[in-house]
Amino acid sequence: MISFHSLEQAFWQSISVDHYASQNVKAYISPVTEVQSFNLCYIYDGADINEITNVLNWYDAKSRDCMIICPEGQTHSIIQSHQTEWQLEDEAPTTAMQLNLNEWQPIANRTNNFTINLVNDNLALWSYPLLTAFGSGNTLQDAIIIQQYQKAHELALQQNQPLYHFVLMLNNAPVCNLTLTIMNEGSRLDDIGTDTHHQGKGYATALIQYALAFAQNKGAEYCVLEASSDGLSVYQKLGFKPLWNYHAYFKSHSILE
């Protein structure tokens, strides 16, 4: 069975320009250079202080900041005890979740006034809702970030990575998007975003359910995702169950002598 972490690693590696791996650490460098929070560093329980310092030194050698993601456990305790020394800034926690597609029962959509398209051949449609869904309000910077992120996905598709990009269209305009990864019997959802002018109307739920049915038809038996606190109740309503909580810290790189 493909594990949660295997799907996690497949997605992030597919859209990264460099990666680092040890037994309990998987780290990525994103082609998004306008902000550094896409450089995700997963430090799993079991990593000791040497594994942690080695990956932090790797980021320093690359002159890149990183976002450390770590589940609760002994390794997280090590990170907490060195938080001041390593100058780690607290970030919002997330929750790993899983849905058994063999037991999944779709719920009624709140609206049917939309169309949903697979747009691997036109990622400009897919990326459009991200501008406001995850934007900072700095229009120019947000546009650059989304352009860089879109390019990473385009390169992944050119390398035949198992990514599927969906967009929900309303009156011929893209208002909601997501990315689906499928590996054998496992699938994963990422990049779920709704344009701020259309949030709270059930479009994300409709799009997620479409993607779940698509994954099911491709032979997937379960689906995983990493949820923010804002999205937790939506995913639970769809049948996703929490697996564990992730803690997150932002680490600025050190200037090497």
pLDDT tens, position by position, 181-223: 999 999 999 999 999 999 999 999 999 999 999 999 999 999 9
**Which residue, 5, 7, 43, is CA-closest to 24?**
43
Domain co-membership, 66 together with 115:
no
Dist CA 167 CA 154 (whole Å): 15
Domain co-membership, 189 together with 108:
yes
The pLDDT assigned to 257 comes to 43
The pLDDT assigned to 1 comes to 55
Domain-embedded: residue 122: yes
The pLDDT assigned to 113 comes to 87
Domain co-membership, 88 together with 145:
no
User: Is pLDDT at 95 greater than 50 in this prediction?
Assistant: yes
Domain co-membership, 87 together with 106:
no
Domain-embedded: residue 159: yes
Domain co-membership, 69 together with 152:
no
Dist CA 54 CA 39 (whole Å): 16
The pLDDT assigned to 34 comes to 87
The pLDDT assigned to 206 comes to 96
User: Is pLDDT at 136 greater than 80 in this prediction?
Assistant: no
Domain co-membership, 160 together with 57:
no
Domain co-membership, 228 together with 120:
yes
Identity of the residue numbered 151: K
Dist CA 170 CA 117 (whole Å): 11
Domain co-membership, 67 together with 178:
no
Domain-embedded: residue 53: yes
The pLDDT assigned to 135 comes to 77
Domain-embedded: residue 256: no
Domain co-membership, 112 together with 232:
yes
Domain co-membership, 131 together with 215:
yes
Domain-embedded: residue 257: no
Domain-embedded: residue 154: yes
The pLDDT assigned to 242 comes to 96
How many C-beta atoms lie closer than 10 Å to residue 131's C-beta?
Answer: 17
Q: 35 lies in which domain range?
A: 4-93+245-251
CATH number of the structural domain spanning residue 155? 3.40.630.30
Output the CA–CA distances (angstroms, integers) from residue 233 to 48, 55, 244, in the order listed: 34, 34, 15
Pairwise pLDDT comparison (257 vs 229), residue with the higher score: 229
Domain-embedded: residue 45: yes
User: Is pLDDT at 117 greater than 90 in this prediction?
Assistant: yes
In this prediction, residues 108-112 reach a mean pLDDT of: 86
The pLDDT assigned to 87 comes to 95
In this prediction, residues 61-69 reach a mean pLDDT of: 96
User: Is pLDDT at 256 greater than 70 in this prediction?
Assistant: no
How high is the mean pLDDT of the chain?
A: 94
Dist CA 54 CA 57 (whole Å): 5
Domain co-membership, 52 together with 10:
yes
Locate 163 and state its tokens. 């990514």
Per-residue pLDDT tens for 13-53? Answer: 999 999 999 999 999 999 999 888 899 999 999 999 999 99
User: Taking the model in full, what pTM does it have?
Assistant: 0.95
DSSP for the chain reads ---HHHHHHHHHHHT-SEEEEETTEEEEE-S--S-STT-EEEE-TT--HHHHHHHHHHHHHTT--EEEEEESSHHHHHHHHTTTTTTEEEEEEEEEEEEETTT--PPPPS----EEEE-TT-HHHHHTTHHHHS--S-HHHHHHHHHHHHHHHHHHHHTT-SEEEEEEEETTEEEEEEEEEEETTEEEEEEEEE-GGGTTSSHHHHHHHHHHHHHHHTT--EEEEEE-TTTHHHHHHHT-EEEEEEEEEEEPPP---
Domain count, the chain: 2
The pLDDT assigned to 4 comes to 96
Domain-embedded: residue 237: yes
The pLDDT assigned to 240 comes to 98
Domain co-membership, 136 together with 69:
no
